[in-house]
């Protein structure tokens, strides 16, 4: 009688065990953007970029000038939850200091 258990001959088992790794999907990324307005001081925008986006003075100034000249500028790219938190923090901080600064997020 022959046994059909996946082994060949009478020697040690030669079957291969493979682990199936579940494929994880990369999270969607969102761009956090600052919009230009005619009232928020440039220094305040630089301060926001340093405080909430960990930009150094040079990088923050460069982004602020881009916003000033083009109407919009990217502060960073984050997962949904982090982007949403950053937008809320910036908007709350701007309102607290009585500035109309707008910050939004868009899917990348």
Identify which of 106, 41, 38, 37 has the alpha carbon closest to the alpha carbon of residue 75.
106
Per-residue confidence (pLDDT) for residue 22, from 0 to 100: 82
The burial class, CB within 10 Å (0-12 / 13-18 / 19+), for 4 is exposed
User: Angle, nearest 10°, between helix axes 80-96 and 42-53?
Assistant: 140
Per-residue confidence (pLDDT) for residue 12, from 0 to 100: 66
Per-residue confidence (pLDDT) for residue 17, from 0 to 100: 79
pTM: 0.79
Mean pLDDT, the chain cut into blocks of 10 residues (108 residues total): 53 75 90 97 98 98 98 98 98 98 97
Per-residue confidence (pLDDT) for residue 73, from 0 to 100: 98
Distances (CA, A) of 107 to 60, 70, 104: 22, 20, 10
Per-residue confidence (pLDDT) for residue 1, from 0 to 100: 54
Helix (H) or strand (E) holding 72: strand 72-79
Per-residue confidence (pLDDT) for residue 3, from 0 to 100: 54
Per-residue confidence (pLDDT) for residue 18, from 0 to 100: 81
| Coil, helix or strand at residue 56 | coil
Per-residue confidence (pLDDT) for residue 43, from 0 to 100: 98
């Amino acid at each position: 009688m022959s046994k059909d258990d996946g082994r060949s001959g009478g020697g040690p088992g030669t079957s291969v065990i493979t682990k199936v790794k579940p494929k994880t999907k990369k999270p969607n990324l969102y761009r956090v953007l600052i919009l230009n307005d005619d009232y928020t001081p440039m220094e305040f925008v630089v301060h926001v970029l340093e405080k909430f986006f960990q930009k150094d003075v040079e990088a923050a100034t460069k982004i602020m000038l881009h916003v000033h000249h083009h109407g919009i500028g990217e502060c960073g790219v984050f997962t949904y939850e982090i982007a949403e938190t950053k937008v809320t923090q910036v908007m709350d901080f701007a309102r607290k200091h009585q500035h109309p600064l707008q910050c939004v997020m868009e899917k990348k």
